[in-house]
Amino acid sequence: MILTTITPVYYPNWIGNRQVYVGTGTGPAVYNQTTGDIISVAFTPFFVDGVLGVAVTADLKYIGIPFPVTLGKGGSWALQWFNFIASAGATPAWTQLANNSTALASEQIQLSVLGGP
């Protein structure tokens, strides 16, 4: 997932030596449970130190939960994607998408990350 800036904000906002970046992105064409959907920012150089909150698609079908792939300053982050299953008589639950099962390339999210150069 590549987050692109929300216009007209062209650059991230500084907070001390770090920046908060809010951007939009689309899900992967092919989802992989093991690696997740790697998050990157279309503003370079920008390293993601943390992800603020979860990502919910605009149509409310899917949720992306961020997790650190590597820890520390400038580590990498990814999203694991889930959909909501509510079958008759069963307890509703969030279920992780299976590998290669759902194309998320048309699903849009908005996400905030903390990081910087």
Strand residue runs (E) in 27-76: 37-41, 47-52, 55-56, 62-68
**pLDDT at position 58:** 84
**pLDDT at position 88:** 67
Q: Which residues in the chain show pLDDT less than 70?
A: 1, 5-11, 86-89, 92
Q: For the whole prediction, is pTM greater than 0.75?
A: yes
Q: Which domains does the chain have, with CATH numbers?
A: 2-116 (2.60.40)
On whether the CB atoms of residues 43 and 113 are closer than 8 A, the answer is no
In the chain, % of residues over pLDDT 70:
86
